[in-house]
């Protein structure tokens, strides 16, 4: 009898597939960018910093990104701009893994290859979850890390 109780306790203590931190990301996410110009401006320098700031802000706010995280550790990325239709969509694929996580934060390492731009990039994102279907990433430059925020919403909400 005690062996049966011990076995059931051990099985209940192991996280099921749905409880693994990485599974919170699995699915398709639509992302937009918001910019805090007052925080970003001091990080830019040069003669035309005001013009560069306005152009940069307009281009960043126009980005639409779709990320698809697969349970097998692969990902797909599609990035487009609503500001300049002459720019081609940037498509990429790669891998991802959770480096660390807790209830609200998840650090994810992604290696993304982009055939259009002919490069591969490793990124380390600190993802902050609002709830099961929303997260954000702060991606500003050094000294203004929270000036640029990517916000993602799950395309098919989970129950």
Check residue 5 and give its pLDDT. Answer: 43
Q: Residues 6 or more apart from 115 whose CB is under 8 A from it?
A: 91, 92
The dotted CATH code for 2-154 is 2.40.128
Find out whether 59 and 32 touch, Cβ atoms under 8 Å.
no
Average pLDDT, the chain: 81
Listed range (53-62, 67-76, 131-140) with the worst mean pLDDT: 53-62
Check residue 50 and give its pLDDT. Answer: 67
H/E element, 97 = strand 90-101
Check residue 8 and give its pLDDT. Answer: 44
Check residue 54 and give its pLDDT. Answer: 83
Query: For the segment 92-135, what is each residue's pLDDT rounded down to a tens digit?
Result: 899 999 999 998 899 999 999 877 667 788 999 999 999 999 99
Q: What is the mean pLDDT of residues 3-11?
A: 42
Q: What is the DSSP letter of 25?
A: T
Rounded Cα distance, 124 and 135, in Å: 15
pTM: 0.76
Whether residue 38 is predicted with pLDDT greater than 80 in this model: the reply is yes
Find out whether 133 and 158 touch, Cβ atoms under 8 Å.
yes
Confidence of residue 158 (pLDDT cuts 50, 70, 90): low
Domain boundaries, the chain: 2-154
Find out whether 108 and 137 touch, Cβ atoms under 8 Å.
no
């Amino acid at each position: 009898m005690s062996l049966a109780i011990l076995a059931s306790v051990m099985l209940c203590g192991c996280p099921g597939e749905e409880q693994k931190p990485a599974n919170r990301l699995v699915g398709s996410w639509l992302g937009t960018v918001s910019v805090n110009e007052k925080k970003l401006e001091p990080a830019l320098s040069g003669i035309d910093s005001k013009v560069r700031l306005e152009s940069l802000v307009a281009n960043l706010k126009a980005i639409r990104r779709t990320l698809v995280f697969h349970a097998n550790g692969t990902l797909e990325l599609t990035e487009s701009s609503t500001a300049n239709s002459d720019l081609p969509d940037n498509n990429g694929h790669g891998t991802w893994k959770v480096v660390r996580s807790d209830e609200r934060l998840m650090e994810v390492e992604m290696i993304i290859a982009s055939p259009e731009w002919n490069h591969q990039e490793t990124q380390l994102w600190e993802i902050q979850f609002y709830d099961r279907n929303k997260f954000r990433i702060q991606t500003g430059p050094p000294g203004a890390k929270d000036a640029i925020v990517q916000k993602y919403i799950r395309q098919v909400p989970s129950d």
